Structure 1
Amino acid sequence: MNAYLEQRALKISTAMTLLVASLGVAFGLLSGSRSILFDGVFSTIDAAMSLLALFVSRLVMKESSQRFQLGYWHFEPMVAALNGSILLLLCFYAFLNAISGLMEGGRELAFDVAIGYAVIVCAACYGMFFFERRLNRRARSEFVRIDTQGWLMAALITSALLVAFIAALLMQDTALAAWTPYVDSALLAVLTLCFMPVPIGIVRRAMGEIMMIAPPALDAEVHASMVPVMRRDGLLEYSSHVAKSGRVHTIEIHLLTTPEFARDAGVARLDEIREEIASRLSIPGEQRWFTLSFTAERRWL
């Protein structure tokens, strides 16, 4: 993973998110649109979380300390879980607000101002999506990947807002004009329902890492790597444990050997096996915590 590119992407994304958030709040108040105001508040919280992600991204690059002897990797899923939880609560509150608006008969809004907002934000969101997607091909960052998905979601939903606002503007001088007050609240309800899968997915993945649920792909890869190793004479069986926390993958393997194993070759034979296993793992060395132990007693497995 390229830390410099990750930092650069997050800084640019945070600046653009703050700009979009400011536009959302300003245009939401000017047009009287709750859906645009929600979009602005959502972006404001997202910007705050991006700043926190940027801080954690810098923190995890530091060396371990006396207090955090295993490093700072575990902060990444904690920040992701916090981010997703706050956004999910915001979506739920906004959805209830939308239903309340529909029950109260909706509200009039300035569609021309709303259309202007949607055009500007669409351009910004699509631009950031393509920029970050291209950059993350080299950065290979989980933070940037999540951020890229967020920009795509924002772009698609703002596009839907643009189409809806244009349609509502055209309805004003027709027999359907009586329905235009409901457009904003209906859009807000749809907007929140479309946004909800994003924070739900973020929370689900983050909680899986916080609870140290073994990633199936990594577990399968470790077992596949051990197949040729276990053909060596003197190796009887093994146990393995894997977990993922942020960008670090923890891999522990305990090998049961005969009492005479590697008696002549010594530590060199053990390091040879360690190198053989490591060479078959796809996780880069800087993103894994790999521990291999040998024992002749089954109780240590």
Structure 2
Amino acid sequence: MTYTRPTTPRESMRQRFQGSSMQTEQGVLRASIMVTLLISAFGITFGILSGSFSIAFDGIYALVDASMSVLALIVANLIASYTSSRAAAGPLRARFSTGFWHLEPIVLGLNGVLLVAVSVYALVNAIGSLLAGGHALEFDFAIVYAVVTLAACTAMAMLETKANRSIKSDFVALDAKAWIMSGGITAALLVAFCGGYLVQGTRLEWISPYIDPAVLALVCAVIIPLPVSNIRQALTDILLVAPDDLTAHVHEVAKGVLKDYGFLSYRAYIAKVGRAKQVELYFIVPTGLPPRRVEEWDAIRDRIGDAIGHESPDRWLTIAFTADPAWAD
């Protein structure tokens, strides 16, 4: 007789959290949204208490990021629902018969644009505050905020980076990058606030009013360029620009098929849309080619699909054969 120790409620809760929250794209994003909202409320509150524009900006930045994470979660759920049950019918599937992958780069691009816009606005305000002589700041409140927030950012960045090794999601990768950025910002704030606290009562106390706007301006100048790469990638996907590596691989496979089966030529249409790889191949066969059974053509398709690889619910592969090039152009 085998005895199995019963799972305690605490272990059961931990297993559910690990299984559902940090091992799926949707779970990671949900956890990130909850933590981000807490940090946002924490930052706005402490920004008001300490009189720090940089802390208030950090809270607002987190709020914008959380809003985009909610949108990303909705898109991730739509994609997961579509790829897990393509045969299912429904009003959304009827209207979006080719899937929801195109929404992913739109959300990523919008996220980057909004974060840049918020940062530019904060930079302008910081410069204005510096020119106006700065403002007083309660450094003790500011330091408490920075320590707590830095710990939260570090923990979330580590958890998401680890989880995304198996999930491999652009959304999670972007979110982990955002946590790293937030942690870097908060670390800079902490150093500045500690410096401001230490100069109190010394001959350098005159710099205290300038610390908060100066740090805010520096942080904004650093983070404004960071989302640019994500915006560029999103535009690439929206414009259906074919990735060089995938394009070269598909053409290599297609040329091999021409050689093996004696086809005349081919047309390849390739794009990457978010996480989806879309490939359409049209092979021009000689006129008068002896007929083949449908199963034989399917076997050729299977061979081509295996050679192209990347088989997953996020691969959209179409392979057609025709003797009329007009059908392929």
Q: Normalising by structure 1, report the TM-score.
A: 0.93
Cα distance change of structure 1 residues 191 and 281 upon mapping to structure 2, 3 Å threshold: same
Cα distance, 1:32 vs structure 2: 0.7
Match of 2:195 among 167, 184, 196: 167
* 1:241 maps onto 2:269 in alignment: yes
Q: Give the Cα separation in 1 of the matches to 2:269 and 2:119.
A: 37
Q: Corresponding residue for 2:58?
A: 39
Cα distance change of structure 1 residues 281 and 253 upon mapping to structure 2, 3 Å threshold: same
Partner letter of residue 86 of structure 1?
L
Q: Give the Cα separation in 2 of the matches to 1:223 and 1:171.
A: 65
Partner letter of residue 321 of structure 2?
F
Partner letter of residue 37 of structure 2?
L
Q: State the Cα deviation string for residues 68-108 of structure 1 (Å, max 9, x = none).
A: 11122222122222222221111110110011011111111
Q: Corresponding residue for 1:277?
A: 304
Q: Give the match's secondary structure for 2:230.
A: helix
* 1:296 maps onto 2:296 in alignment: no
Q: Give the match's secondary structure for 1:119.
A: helix
Q: Give the Cα separation in 2 of the matches to 1:281 and 1:156.
A: 41
Q: Give the match's secondary structure for 1:254.
A: strand
Alignment of 1:94-133 (within 5 A): 94-133=122-161
Q: State the Cα deviation string for residues 177-197 of structure 1 (Å, max 9, x = none).
A: 222211111111111122212
* 1:268 maps onto 2:292 in alignment: no
Cα distance change of structure 1 residues 254 and 168 upon mapping to structure 2, 3 Å threshold: same
Q: State the Cα deviation string for residues 209-253 of structure 1 (Å, max 9, x = none).
A: 112111222212212322422221421221211112222111111
Partner letter of residue 9 of structure 1?
V
Q: Give the Cα separation in 2 of the matches to 1:282 and 1:119.
A: 47
* 1:254 maps onto 2:282 in alignment: yes
Say whether the 8 Å CA contact 1:234–1:260 is kept in structure 2.
Answer: no
Alignment of 1:46-195 (within 5 A): 46-63=65-82, 65-195=93-223
The gaps in structure 2 that reach 5 residues or longer are 1-19, 83-91
Partner letter of residue 176 of structure 1?
L
Cα distance change of structure 1 residues 66 and 106 upon mapping to structure 2, 3 Å threshold: same
Cα distance change of structure 1 residues 62 and 233 upon mapping to structure 2, 3 Å threshold: closer
Cα distance, 1:260 vs structure 2: 4.0
Q: Give the Cα separation in 2 of the matches to 1:217 and 1:173.
A: 61
Cα distance, 1:299 vs structure 2: 3.0
Cα distance change of structure 1 residues 58 and 271 upon mapping to structure 2, 3 Å threshold: same
Cα distance, 1:286 vs structure 2: 0.8
Q: Give the match's secondary structure for 2:201.
A: coil
Q: State the Cα deviation string for residues 261-293 of structure 1 (Å, max 9, x = none).
A: 4x2543333222222221123423311110111
Q: Give the match's secondary structure for 1:255.
A: strand
Cα distance, 1:298 vs structure 2: 2.9
Partner letter of residue 35 of structure 1?
S
Query: Which portions of structure 1, spanning 4 or more consecutive aligned residues, are displaced by more than 4 angstroms?
Result: none
Partner letter of residue 54 of structure 2?
S
Aligned CA-pair RMSD: 1.9
Q: Give the Cα separation in 2 of the matches to 1:282 and 1:180.
A: 60
The gaps in structure 1 that reach 5 residues or longer are none
How many corresponding residue pairs?
299
Q: Give the Cα separation in 2 of the matches to 1:198 and 1:60.
A: 27
Q: Corresponding residue for 1:14?
A: 33
Q: Give the Cα separation in 2 of the matches to 1:233 and 1:44.
A: 58
Q: Give the Cα separation in 2 of the matches to 1:139 and 1:282.
A: 19
* 1:287 maps onto 2:306 in alignment: no
Q: Give the Cα separation in 1 of the matches to 2:173 and 2:159.
A: 12
Cα distance, 1:256 vs structure 2: 1.4
Partner letter of residue 141 of structure 1?
S
Q: Normalising by structure 2, report the TM-score.
A: 0.86
